[in-house]
Amino acid sequence: MHTIVRRHPLGALITMGPDGFDANHIPFELDAAHGTHGLLTAHVARANPVWQQCQEGANVLVIFRGNESYISPNWYPSKHETHRQVPTWNYEVVHVHGRLAVMDEEKFVRGVVARLTREHEVSEPRPWKMGDSPPDYIEQMLKAVVGIQVEITRIEGKAKLSQNRELRDRLNAADTLIARGEESLGRAMREAVKESK
């Protein structure tokens, strides 16, 4: 589950505000070693009301979508024999439950922004860093955001990887995905086959 969160860090933060449920899509940093279940850290625009509408310690849900893809019944060898298959969608998701804390200190926000930038710039030929921009501009940008943390109280993984299909159907669907360039989901389906043996 931690691997899915790290590979797909854009989480949907679900909160309950004065107008009901709200969802904000935010890139998170995961510290799996913090506490019992881990800690998520991020920042939101100061203009985003989410950080003011949620009370300190409010229960929240963060949904991370991993690999996903449509699965055609034509990919199942048994379909061509029995014609008893229908389309479906395979996926991997992680649901993180936790308590929200607002961290509105410049040092904290600067650290979050710096770490997220390093993490996501690492594959660039010439990674951008905060020092590439004038200090006054960075100060202005940092003042425009607020840090948040979610102390994880529970984490659940959900995966639909054709587990309900016979072995040859599962393997052929996985191989079809891999051949179409959706290697991560195809490999996850093959791994699920190994784990079920």
Nearest of 175, 179, 181 to residue 193 by alpha carbon: 175
Residue 80, pLDDT score? 86
Mean pLDDT of the chain: 94
Q: Is the model's pLDDT at 197 over the cut of 80?
A: no
| Average pLDDT, integer, range 139-149 | 96
Q: Please give the Cα distance from 21 to 60 (Å, whole number).
A: 10
Structural domains in the chain (count): 1
**Residue 50 structural domain:** 2-196
Instruction: Describe the chain by its helix, strand, coil percentages, rounded to 5.
Output: 35, 35, 25
Give the pTM: 0.89
pLDDT digits (tens, 9 = 90+) for 73-90: 999 999 889 888 899 999
What phi and psi values does residue 29 have, to the nearest 5 degrees?
Answer: -110, 135
Nearest of 186, 184, 159, 181 to residue 170 by alpha carbon: 186
Q: What is the CATH number of the domain that holds 26?
A: 2.30.110.10
Residue 85, pLDDT score? 87
Nearest of 195, 192, 136, 186 to residue 159 by alpha carbon: 192
